[in-house]
Amino acid sequence: MEGRGVSFKSDVWVDWCPGCGNYGILTAVFKAFAELKLDPSKTVIVSGIGCSGKLPHFVNVNGVHTLHGRAIPFATGIKLANPELTVVVHGGDGDLLGIGAGHFVALGRRNLDIVVILHNNGVYGLTKGQASPTLPLDAKTKALPKPNIQQAVNPIMLAVASGYTFVARSYAFEGEHLKNVIVDAVKHRGAAFVDILQPCVTFNDIFTSEYYRKRVYRLDKDPDWDPVVRKPEERISKMLKAIEKSAEWGERIPIGVFYVDSTVSTYEERLSSRLKVYPKVNPASSVIASEDLRPVVDDVKFKKIFSDLIVRVSKRV
Amino acid sequence: MGFSELSLILGGPQGSGLETSMLVLSRALAYRGYGVVADREYYSNIVGRHSYIHMSISSKRTPRSLTYPVKLLVSMDAETVFTHFKDIESGGVLFYDKDVRAKKVTEIPSIEESLRSRIARDLKALGAGEDLESVLGVLRGRGVTTIGMSFQEILRDLMKTFGIDPRSLSRYVSGIITSSAALLLGLDREALKYGFERVFAARAKLVEQNVYVADSVWRELKSYEGLLRLDYPETEFSEVLVATGNDVVAIAKIVAGLRYQSYYPITPAADESFFLEKYEVSEVDGTIVGPIVVIQTEDEIAAINSAIGASLAGVRSSTATSGPGFDLMVEGISWAGMNEAPVVITYYQRGGPSTGLPTRGSQSDLLSSAFAAHGEFAKVVLSSGDHLDAFYDTVLAFNIAEKYQLPVIHLLDKFLANSTATIPLPDLGRVRIERGLKPVPPGTYKRFNLEALISPRAPLGTPGVIMWYTGDEHDEFGHISEEPENRVRMYSKRIEKLKLVDEEVPGDLKLRVYGDEGGDFCLIGWGSVKGVALDAVDEIAKRGFRGIYVDVKMLWPFPRRELLEVLRRSGFGNVVAVEHSYGVNIADLAAMAAGVQIRKRIAKFTGRPITLSELTQALEKTLTSDVDRVVISYGG
Ligand SMILES: Cc1ncc(C[n+]2csc(CCOP(=O)(O)OP(=O)(O)O)c2C)c(N)n1
Ligand code: SF4
Ligand SMILES: [Mg+2]
């Protein structure tokens, strides 16, 4: 399939609440994929469970709608098995940073070439508005009977600390910016993370579009802001800057790229130095049997490969 | 005349090289044509607690079971003698370190308190003191030959000759006990050297030093050479695989075409993944075998779900785990069932519940495997009775998973995982790789096409094809659908595939009968009880009871028809079930699935393997009395 001219919109009816920030994200995904000319059959969107988890059904590329919190493990298996695929994960804040937080951290450590897109709405949308891991302490959104008793985790800080090599934030209704960030994240080689501020019109009456519209500002407007690590020695200082910048929240909320580091090896590169033939010969492309169903390993090869475990009997005469 | 079959124990502290002794000895024995099976028993501990190798050797075949009492106890320390002295048969031999003769059982902190007082009580009852010297006296009184040697002297001499750092001397104790065992069994030094060479491979110095140790042992124990001489081997194999159950399953996975293995470290499964990592890619005669991506994930949830992801990309994938890890995987198994994703879960059972007996064996997860995960969907559970079966069953597991597009649980256990055996090389001419891949029909692809129970499966990445998967109920395209008519068709499709498995998998892959039908009893079991069950059936025949062993290999779908046929032919009367569990749950599964009532049950749940002597006795008891339930518990 050719990317150009393909409509990335599937014919599944989009059942999000009218006005939901997810619509902005979906539109940006269509545009980014079109700009990247992605081949739908070589592209996979992997999602978790939540309102956000439904996104793959609305897009005309392969879609894998997985379990709550587990999109990253599924994506990891898909990508490692077939490194030719473009793999993009979509998940909610509960999904990626609550139940799936361990996987979120692990992907950073691996720096596998996957994009993770966080639908950050501060609530558990699909289960009707409970506090999510990004909702600040003491916040009381309308569905909560009591103010939030747990602190929020800062997704950008966590991503940088975990080892993601592309870390950015955008806002669901900042269409062009969001599209560009997604394009850059897909182009980046290594684990990329995009935190998208996503108003939930139904359950989050604090972090609304009015709230964000007044506060978000673009990092790329600041000529002094340079998030790119150009040599390994710069890594720590750039990380610290990204972390410091990510702590900015309140009257002004930065969006844009916080951190990019292409000096870290990707998981694919690490594998390829170990497996040699990888990624050219990979799990999906390699042969396991002949046409007549016989295994690649025949009796002769078996003895050669496993010679360490074979004892040739030599009885005493 | 020597011994055609013999069993022995090598014991010592964990981390002191016992395993090396087992590796060397089993290779040396295999080299000279003997069959060996050796079980490794150890605490959940890295260094210091008592561990031992229980080995059976045969000049006729690969032994199938372990038995007590043993002919030979080779001890590294006093604790081993205190723990196992009662296991030596009269006329047997104890080899020990003279330097620890004065050690008292009450002075050994690594012995668990309850065991220590039991041993002290036993010694008192025998009128013996609490020191090792007294135990030696008891043994001699029972006709056991006790052979002592000063380990210190041997090691000091070695240290001087090779200029070894005194702190690393303890690693040569393994060489002392290996050599003395070899000497007593009548193995020659060349065979022993072969064992050292195979195990130490490139480390020539270690070989030289161990051979030096062997020479010292030979000099010192000359008069005992061949005291327990094995018969000249009658085995027919010219080449054997000497491998653990973990190794064999890993080898089979490579043959089966595995391309993705995920795991989170857990005993006794992790060694399988280690092995796979070592052999992740090979090039032989210009052909690349692999590559297998072996990944250590952050937890078992990621292990199963990433394996399912790899499966969606069209590759054979699996994960290996044990009880605690399996419990974490269950939601993923439900997703695989819902999405008709082939995946193999190699499940090595250990003693539960919870962390239970982390390094000991069990078969207590049968029902938990058969009924794991919410919702109803097709899933297959296979088991294997021994190393060679495990090889073929591993291939079968992948074939079934792919042909029927469902998760397969290959239910093994610690006994198989950690025991080393000499096994014939598998016959690869028998192996077929059946993937069930059908051409994708033209037109818009429907992953869950309802035209047949098995829909054409295209991997993610197939050019020109796109598809969707979801854990929600879905339509033929894989999009969410809650429409009742579709629900009924999809839901039924996923369950009814199991009928195909039941109808199409050949009967002897599901259930195997050993022995002549029409006898007095039918012993039924599954998995690693096979070897000991077969031996017990033979043994009890000598006492006048003729029976069969029924090995249930496919546990789910339960081979109802096959079992009923066997029982129809052999009579429903004396059916006895045996299992490493409290419940002997195979009997309940048979009741549920086949309507067969099995009252007589033999249970063992100490975490130690069922041995021949205790099973034969228990079987006799169930056959000669109206006792229905026998619980056995031998072994330290
Ligand atoms: C294991 C498990 N626990 C709980 C749920 C119920 N559940 C469905 S969606 C959801 C939370 C969704 O919140 P979030 O991930 O933030 O996604 P959103 O709906 O906000 O996009 C929960 C808890 C589930 N599906 N699976
Ligand atoms: S509940 Fe919130 S997040 Fe979910 S669809 Fe509605 S507005 Fe969007
Ligand atoms: Mg949310």
Residues 18 to 57 of B: which have CB under 8 A from any A CB?
A: 27, 30-33
Burial of A6 (0-12, 13-18, 19+ CB in 10 A): middle
CATH code at B5-224: 3.40.920.10
Angle value at C-alpha B216, between B211 and B222, nearest 5 degrees:
115
**Does pLDDT of A5 surpass 60?**
no
What is the torsion angle, in degrees rounded to the nearest 10, for the CA atoms of residue B138, residue B140, residue B141 and residue B143?
130
Q: Is the whole-model pTM more than 0.90?
A: yes
Contact B13, B58 (CB under 8 A): no
Nearest to B465, CA basis, from B480, B450, B448, B444: B444
pLDDT at A205: 98
Give me the residues of A, 20-49, that contact B with CB < 8 A: 40-42, 44, 46, 49
At residue B532, the pLDDT reads 98
The rounded Å distance from CA B315 to ligand 2 centre is: 36
Find out whether A217 and A209 touch, Cβ atoms under 8 Å: no
Where residue A6 falls among pLDDT bands split at 50, 70, 90?
A: low
**Least confident interval from A71-75, A222-226, B234-238:** B234-238
A304 contacts B284? CB cut-off 8 A: yes
Q: Is A92 in the pocket of ligand 1 (CB under 6 A)?
A: yes
CB contact under 8 A, A81 and B241: no
Ligand 2 shell residues, CB under 6 Å = A 16-17, 20, 22, 51, 121, 125, 200-203
State how far the Cα of A171 lies from the Cα of A209, in Å rounded to an integer. Answer: 9
Q: What is the structure's pLDDT at B545?
A: 95
Cα separation of A293 and A306, whole Å? Answer: 22
ipTM score of complex: 0.98
pLDDT in tens, B477-520: 999 999 999 999 999 999 999 999 999 999 999 999 999 888 89
Q: Provide the pLDDT for residue A3.
A: 43
Q: Which residues contact A223 (CB under 8 A, 6 or more apart)?
A: none
Integer CA distances (angstroms), B57 to B53, B421, B612, in order = 12, 10, 14
Please give the pLDDT value at position B573.
Answer: 79
Q: What does the pLDDT read at residue A4? A: 47
DSSP secondary structure letters along B238-276: SEEEEEEHHHHHHHHHHHHTEEEEEE---TTTHHHHHHH
Is the CB of residue B137 less than 8 Å from the CB of residue B128?
A: yes
Nearest beta carbon to residue A41 from set B30, B191, B462? B462
Q: Give yes or no for B293 touching A (CB within 8 A).
A: yes
Q: Write down the pLDDT at residue B442.
A: 86
Do A60 and A102 form a contact (C-beta atoms < 8 A)?
no
What does the pLDDT read at residue B518?
83
Per-domain residue ranges for chain A? 21-270
Is the Cβ–Cβ distance between A191 and A108 less than 8 Å?
A: yes
B315 interface with A at CB cutoff 8 Å: yes
CATH 3.40.50.970 matches A21-270: yes
- Domains of chain B, residue spans: 5-224, 242-430, 438-505, 509-632
Per-residue H/E/C for B334-400? HHHHHCCCCEEEEEEEEECCCCCEEEEECCCCHHHHHCCCCCCCCCEEEECCCHHHHHHHHHHHHHH
The predicted pLDDT at position B471 comes to 98
Give the CATH architecture of domain B509-632.
3-Layer(aba) Sandwich (3.40)
Q: What is the pLDDT of residue A1?
A: 46
Contact B260 A77 (CB under 8 A): yes
Supply the mean pLDDT for chain A. 97
Hey, what CATH class is B242-430 in? alpha beta
And the tokens for B408?
Answer: 């397969």
Report the distance separating Cα B110 and Cα B49, nearest Å.
Answer: 6
User: Of the bound ligands, which one is closest to the alpha carbon of residue A53?
Assistant: 1
* List of chain B residues with pLDDT < 50: none
Tens digits of residue pLDDT in B416-471: 999 999 999 999 999 999 999 888 888 899 999 999 999 999 999 999 999 999 99
